[in-house]
Amino acid sequence: MSTTLSAPALPTTTPAVDAPLPERPRTYLVKTLGCQMNVHDSEHMAGLLEHAGYVAATPGDAAAEDADVIVINTCAVRENAADKLYGNLGRLAGMKRARPGMQIAVGGCLAQKDRAGIVERAPWVDVVFGTHNLDVLPVLLERARHNARAEVEIAESLQVFPSTLPTRRESVYAGWVSISVGCNNTCTFCIVPHLRGKERDRRPGEILAEVDALVQQGAIEVTLLGQNVNSYGVEFGDRQAFAKLLRAAGAVQGLERLRFTSPHPASFTDDVIDAMAQTPTVMPQLHMPLQSGSDRVLRAMRRSYRSERFLGILDRVRAAMPDAAITTDIIVGFPGETEEDFAETLRVVEESRFASAFTFQYSPRPGTPAADLPDQLPKAVVQERYERLVALQERISTEENVAQVGRTIEVLVAEGEGRKDGATHRISGRAADNRLVHLALPQGRHPDDAPRPGDLVTVAVTHGAPHHLVADSALTGGPFAVRRTRAGDAWERRQSGEDEHSHGTGDACGTGAGPAGPVVLGLPTIGVPAR
């Protein structure tokens, strides 16, 4: 079921219905605020727009935000999500007044939550759509242009599985693949189940077909996505479905790196650890949210595991994969958290030896049970604890990264990842365990011979810092070897314009034949007239 909400007429700068259409294709820019799921949703939004005849704004256009259509894909998990959205909208208001015909659309979690309230607060917005109906974006844009008024359409449940939609991949060498949407957990601090709905699982064959299509189009790394990936299979009653999926996806010919995010500790089983350890393409990396080290706080959060179970999982993962890098999420200052509770978090963090951690100060989200709990902590208390936690994790991350010095690793070169060093001409990428690596090229190497994004480089680690590794072995006669890959070839084709910045081709079979365009996997798509 979907709800179409009435909205006020747009400002007088909106062109009349009979205004002449521009001769050039309309350009678009999608801005993403939020998690990996939002990033992947943005790829679908971009694919839908290109399928409807829009053209991605050039880098210059994107920097100046002067595209004809700007889509903001929002997050609602953090307290500052609304501030980020309305800050962006405020900057765009004057731009829209000066440019008749420009359109602004807002989608994602905050759109699902606030609905018509977005247009009431920012009446220059043309379109608002939710997490369950990404497919309506091009239609709503056209309807808003025709009717000269804002269009707000929010579906109450999933209308079309996002992975069946056209996709404009941001990367040619690595891609996201959703295995499920929604969440069946009831964590008291989290609004995601309310905004994304109950878990819906894709059939294994559809997932494997998408992985294979990505590989055929040049990708050598794939990340499986879900709110709780390891509960995959709950919808069709197979508790071992995720471990089976890891093995099957890892066996896709041509795939070199398989990752997944994020699993839930309560559903993490030993068959998944076995699949990770026994499947060579599954990388030695695990991101598993801890949230708190206090059992009392975990109970208040409705996190259905306790600290000893969490630590036990880490022990078993490291026994099977000694070089695994484990990362996590932690919330500081949950309502009622005592100094003793926080000390338990510090204890578990010390024992866990995380390679890195995403640390957050608790922020109440309206509509969640935790927002109404007593004993909300003073900001000063939360801030002081947060600083102690960050200092502890910085120390551990530094120690863990320094311990990598001397190791020979293989780095997948990335595009626009991390800092570069002008003096050493360093390039950046990710090691198998997902650590960020800045690596130097041999002196005198011709720029045309530099590794391309998507290529793999073997180097030795020479320095460890809290948030990255440095591998300057090429400057001292140490290991340095480049393996040029078909992913690098695909990146090079994109740079030359052969595939018009799409990830793959627009043919329905994913065979590589036909004109360039967004990825279409031969699954149902919504028909939108091209402009």
Give the C-alpha separation, 317 to 40, whole Å.
Answer: 28
C-alpha distances (whole Å) from 89 to each of 7, 77, 137, 163 are 17, 19, 18, 28
To the question of whether residue 35 is assigned a binding role by annotation, the answer is: yes
Q: Which residue from 107, 226, 127 is spatially nearest to 177, judged by alpha carbons?
A: 226
To 5 degrees, how large is the angle CA 50–CA 55–CA 57? 130
Q: Which residues contact 464 (CB under 8 A, 6 or more apart)?
A: 398, 400, 401, 402, 403, 404, 405, 470
Strand-strand pairing, 151-155 and 2-5: antiparallel
Residue matched to tokens 């001292």: 476
Strand-strand pairing, 174-178 and 151-155: unpaired
Q: Which pair of tokens denotes residue 388?
A: 């102690």
Residue type for position 63 = A
Phi-psi region of 101 (alpha: psi -120 to 50; beta: other; left: phi over 0): left
Q: Which residues contact 445 (CB under 8 A, 6 or more apart)?
A: none
Residue type for position 527 = G
Phi-psi region of 177 (alpha: psi -120 to 50; beta: other; left: phi over 0): beta
Is 429 exposed, middle or buried (CB count within 10 Å of its CB: 0-12, 13-18, 19+)? buried
Residue matched to tokens 């509960």: 231
Give the C-alpha separation, 509 to 210, whole Å.
Answer: 11
Q: Which residues contact 20 (CB under 8 A, 6 or more apart)?
A: none
- 232 and 226 in contact (C-beta within 8 Å)? yes
To the question of whether residue 509 is assigned a binding role by annotation, the answer is: no
To 5 degrees, how large is the angle CA 221–CA 224–CA 227? 150
**Please, how many CA atoms are within 13 Å of residue 62, restricted to the half-sphere of its CB?**
11
- 428 and 459 in contact (C-beta within 8 Å)? no
To the question of whether residue 75 is assigned a binding role by annotation, the answer is: yes
- DSSP state, residue 505: B
Give the C-alpha separation, 2 to 137, whole Å.
Answer: 14
Q: Which residue from 386, 383, 272 is spatially nearest to 320, judged by alpha carbons?
A: 272
- Phi, psi dihedral angles at 331 (to 5 degrees): -105, 130
Give the C-alpha separation, 347 to 261, whole Å.
Answer: 25
Residue ranges of the binding site: 35, 75, 109, 183, 187, 190
Residue ranges of the binding site for [4Fe-4S] cluster: 35, 75, 109, 183, 187, 190
